[in-house]
Amino acid sequence: MPGRLDNKIALVTGAGSGIGRATALVFAREGAKVVVSDIVVEGGQETVQQIEAAGGEAIFVKADVSQAADVETLVAKTVETYGRLDCAFNNAGIEGGVKPTIDCTEEEFDRTIAVNLTGVWLCMKYEIQQMLSQGGGTIVNTASAAGLVGFPGLPDYVASKHGVVGLTKTAALEYAKSGIRVNAVCPGVIQTPMVERGAQLSPGFDELAVSMEPVGRFGQPAEVGEAVVWLCSDAASFVTGIPMQVDGGLVAQ
């Protein structure tokens, strides 16, 4: 059966772990060649090995998304290797300080914004230049349920993810007539190393997180990946500028 993204070139940041790795695997399953990027080399290489073991094709490029030079090089290496960039999943992110507003330090606030918000903007800046030159493409940014509603104790994270939703809508409007669709996914609580770190820091975290989810369980990373790949596929050809909740009903409450 043909894949939904046969012969497409997909780029995934934060692909060495969690949602990024699972989505890179779904891209490859659907026939895309995948540029796997992360700040963590071992994680990224492991994702490439998993894609290859499943019969797909991928390369790893190390990049820190908060550094413009890294992001410019990442897009350049994608084009140098595969000739174009069809689908970009700007997903790399960090959980931030996990402290109430008055306790969050300037350093924590600035770092979270640098990775989660400036990182997404930098990725779009260089990806869109390439997509304009080739006549189109699709972009999905990872926001969060925390990009749609507030969460006490996550001021830097919530600010960064609301910013991602705003950037997504703006770029969608700017490039709608140029064949470039830009959307965001807003995951709920997804079982990844990021959430496992939260559970280690605060006893009772798992129970609290599951109780917030109307479906009564954590989401799995691949459940986000399926939504991302749908947004990148031709099946979503009239969809642009949306923050899509993939959250088990969390934000519907």
CB 238, min distance to ligand NAP, A: 25
Contact status, residue 20 vs residue 14, Cβ threshold 8 Å: yes
Give the Cα separation of 230 and 235 in Å (integer).
Answer: 7
Q: What is the CA radius of gyration of the chain?
A: 17
The two three-digit tokens of residue 4, written as one number: 């939904």
CB 173, min distance to ligand NAP, A: 23
Q: Nearer to ligand NAP by C-beta: 31 or 70?
A: 70
Q: Nearer to ligand NAP by C-beta: 17 or 240?
A: 17
- The neighbour count for residue 196, using CB atoms within 10 Å, is 12
Q: Nearer to ligand NAP by C-beta: 14 or 56?
A: 14
Strand ordering across the sheet containing 243-246:
58-62, 33-38, 9-13, 87-90, 137-142, 180-187, 243-246
Nearest to 87 by CA among 11, 164, 180, 194: 11
CB 96, min distance to ligand NAP, A: 9
Q: Give bridge partners of residue 246 from the DSSP assignment.
A: 187
Q: Nearer to ligand NAP by C-beta: 178 or 197?
A: 197
CB 252, min distance to ligand NAP, A: 16
Write the burial class of residue 107 (CB in 10 Å: 0-12 exposed, 13-18 middle, 19+ buried).
exposed
Give all strands (DSSP E) within the chain, no chain letters.
9-13, 33-38, 58-62, 87-90, 137-142, 180-187, 243-246
Q: Which residues bind ligand NAP (CB under 6 A)?
A: 13-14, 16-20, 38-40, 43, 64-66, 91-94, 115, 119, 142, 144, 187, 189-190, 192-195
CB 101, min distance to ligand NAP, A: 19
Q: In the annotation, is 126 catalytic?
A: no
Give the Cα separation of 231 and 237 in Å (integer).
Answer: 8
Q: Nearer to ligand NAP by C-beta: 22 or 177?
A: 22
Catalogue the active-site residues: 157
